[in-house]
Amino acid sequence: MEFRDNKAIYLQIADYVCEHILLEKWKAEEKIPSVREMAVELEVNPNTIMRTYDLLQTKNIISNKRGIGFFVAEKAVDQVKDFRKTHFIADELPVLFRNIYLLNISFDELQRKYENFIKENFNA
């Protein structure tokens, strides 16, 4: 995993876990890698992974079964979408809007590009 420069590592790892859940690589009620396994895989301090897992627990995306490990929560996909949507609207959309405004891009053009993108990437 390549870390970006501008965002706290524990949040980037949260995104990584969420991505796995959205893409159903990790399915509801399945066990996810332990703190130590994740730390080794991503070459980061286990305390950082713990912080990520704490955050995801408070968002009801994963749950901790004592003595067994961490599991994807039952409604994790909905929770992830909620969590990511809030974040997207607050942090990423303003940047996008600013560029759309500055570059004078019409909504028609955007819509065409959006539909093409979905076709090419998700076959939908």
Partner 1 sequence: MIKVNNLHFGYGKNQPLFKNISFQLDAGHIYGLLGKNGAGKSSLLKNLAGLVYAQQGTLDVFGFDPAKRQPAMLEQICFIPEEFYLPAVKIDAYVKANAPFYKKFNHDYFTNLIQEFDIPVSQKLINMSYGQKKKVIIAFALATQAKLIIMDEPTNGLDIPSKAQFRKIMASALTDECCIIISTHQVRDLDNLIDSVIMLDENDIALQASVDEITEKLTFKKVKAVDDSIIYAEPSLSGYYAVMPNYHQEESKLDLELLFNAILTEKTKFKPYFN
Residues that bind partner 1 (CB under 8 A): 3-9, 11-12, 36, 39-48, 51
Q: Position 53: which residue type?
A: Y
CA atoms of 54 and 70, how far apart (whole Å) = 10
Q: Name the minimum Å distance from CB 86 to partner 1.
A: 14
Q: Name the minimum Å distance from CB 54 to partner 1.
A: 12
Q: Name the minimum Å distance from CB 36 to partner 1.
A: 6
The residue among 7 and 119 lying less far from partner 1, judged by its C-beta, is 7
Q: Name the minimum Å distance from CB 35 to partner 1.
A: 10
Which position has the token pair 């991505």?
19
CA atoms of 102 and 1, how far apart (whole Å) = 33
CA atoms of 120 and 15, how far apart (whole Å) = 23
The residue among 40 and 110 lying less far from partner 1, judged by its C-beta, is 40
The residue among 23 and 95 lying less far from partner 1, judged by its C-beta, is 95
The residue among 3 and 97 lying less far from partner 1, judged by its C-beta, is 3
Residue 36 exposure: Cα atoms within 13 Å on the Cβ side: 1
3-state secondary structure of 30: coil
